[in-house]
């Protein structure tokens, strides 16, 4: 093995590299460094989004039933019918079981931002029916729906069909990006 290496290097000692003009090589050398990511700015924007969601928000948009459906102004009522019939494929789902309000709000804001980046249109949010809460009443149900009304990305939402979770689940249609 060592003899082969020695022999190879002996044979190529006088070889000079070719000077090749290549666009690939030239552009690779001139490629600019990526800009730094402003982590603090991203964190600040996230916190502003979270804080912008109020638990006492009153909507001016169309709310079809008190808790089961919501449609943002300027959109066709057919959207709710289609949402209830499963016209859009559910592309993502989150489960808020066991979370307190603050955790759930943070999780929803982050999840909707992720969906926006990935161009996800229809999601399922499982908030539960409240059987695990202190008074056996749903705490997150109204809060989640209230937060969703405040999110500009949300076009509509509807209570899931009974076989898919019913009043413990909301199906959300997001804007197309």
The pLDDT tens digits of the residues spanning 36-77 come to 777 777 777 766 666 666 665 555 554 444 558 999 999 999
Instruction: Report domain extents, the chain.
Output: 39-174
* H-only helix segments in the chain: 2-11, 23-30, 39-51, 78-85, 101-118, 140-150
Q: What is the pLDDT of residue 100?
A: 87
CATH topology of domain 39-174: Ribosomal Protein S8; Chain: A, domain 1 (3.30.1370)
Q: Residue 91 has what pLDDT? A: 95
Predicted confidence band at 95 (pLDDT cuts at 50, 70, 90)?
A: very high
- Is residue 122 classed as helix, strand or coil in its secondary structure? strand
Q: What is the pTM of this model?
A: 0.64
- Give the Cα separation of 139 and 131 in Å (integer): 10
Q: Is the pLDDT of residue 25 over 90?
A: no
The predicted structure's pLDDT at residue 129: 83
Digit-coded pLDDT (tens) for 135-176: 767 788 889 998 999 888 999 999 998 888 888 899 999 998
Q: What are residue 125's DSSP bridge partners?
A: 94, 170
Q: What is the pLDDT of residue 90?
A: 93
């Amino acid at each position: 093995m060592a003899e082969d290496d020695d022999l190879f290097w002996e044979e190529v000692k006088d070889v000079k590299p070719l000077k090749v003009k290549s666009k690939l090589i030239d552009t690779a050398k001139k490629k600019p460094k990526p800009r730094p990511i402003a982590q603090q700015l991203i964190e600040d924007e996230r916190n502003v989004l979270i804080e912008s969601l109020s638990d006492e928000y009153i909507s001016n948009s169309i709310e079809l039933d008190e808790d089961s459906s919501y449609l943002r102004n300027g959109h066709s009522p057919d959207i709710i019918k289609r949402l209830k019939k499963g016209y859009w494929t559910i592309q993502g789902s989150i489960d808020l079981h066991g979370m307190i309000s603050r955790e759930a709000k943070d999780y929803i804001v982050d999840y909707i931002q992720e969906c926006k980046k990935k161009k996800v249109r229809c999601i399922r949010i499982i908030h539960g029916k409240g059987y695990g809460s202190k008074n056996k009443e749903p705490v997150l149900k109204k809060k989640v729906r209230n937060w969703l009304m405040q999110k500009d990305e949300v076009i509509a939402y509807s209570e899931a069909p009974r076989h898919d979770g019913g009043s413990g689940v909301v199906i959300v249609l997001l804007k197309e990006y």
